[in-house]
Amino acid sequence: MRVRRRSRWVVGLLGAVVLSGLLVQWLPQRTRDRVADPVPVFSAMASAPLGDEERLAEIDRLFSLAVDDLQAGRAEQALSALEQVLVLAPSLVDAHVNAGFALIDLARFDAAQEHFRLATRLKPLQANAYYGQALAYEAEADLELALGAMRTYVHLSEADSAHTRRAWSAIWEWQARLAERSGQGG
């Protein structure tokens, strides 16, 4: 297990992880559920200069293709399309989030975390970025950081959503695992 040294602020902000056994089985379905809708592309790019309609159309086409690929379980193709989107629109938060989920599917957790961090820097209230960050930390067995990230997700998300219920389940599981590790419970 690799424990990362982070400032207290980051540790407080991040952490909480999903059932490790379910990660392998559950991830493809969860990825389909969490993929950002292609509709926000135009609203996110609304500030683009006038006359840049071809660029916007290409961003929308590539983003939609990436979403379709992610939902179909084609993470490598989705990542390729998202990388092209990010060349055209490096500040498009949903592209960073979806790239992070594609990278989780490819077991490239450090790269996934970087995309989630970029997304939260660009838009600190982007809840699904914290969810993805938690999954990436959990996959690397860093339950403390996973727990913090999932708590942030729960704080930012709707209380009665299916994802929030899954997040609470992950939080309880990770707390129990951390308590077992420290010899405090069972």
pLDDT at 2: 40
- Report if residue 127 sits inside a domain: yes
Q: Say if residue 50's pLDDT is above 60.
A: no
Structural domain for 145, as ranges = 8-181
Q: How far is CA 62 from CA 17, 47, 75, 83, 99, in A?
A: 31, 19, 14, 9, 12
Residue 150 domain flag: yes
Closest C-alpha among 35, 112, 111, 103 to residue 70: 35
Give the pTM.
0.71
Q: Do the domain assignments include residue 85?
A: yes
CATH number at residue 112: 1.25.40.10
Q: Is position 186 within any domain?
A: no
Specify if 102 maps to a domain.
yes
Q: How many other β-carbons are positioned within 10 Å of the β-carbon of residue 167?
A: 25
Q: What is the model's pLDDT at position 136? A: 97
The amino acid that residue 154 corresponds to is V
In the chain, count of helices (H) and strands (E)? 10, 0
- Condensed to tens digits (0 to 9), the pLDDT of residues 92-104 reads 999 999 999 999 9
Q: Is residue 3 part of a domain?
A: no
Which residues have CB under 8 Å from 107's CB, separation 6+?
Answer: 139
Mean pLDDT of the 157-177 span: 90
Domain count, the chain: 1
Task: Please indicate, yes or no, if residue 74 is contained in any of the structural domains.
Answer: yes
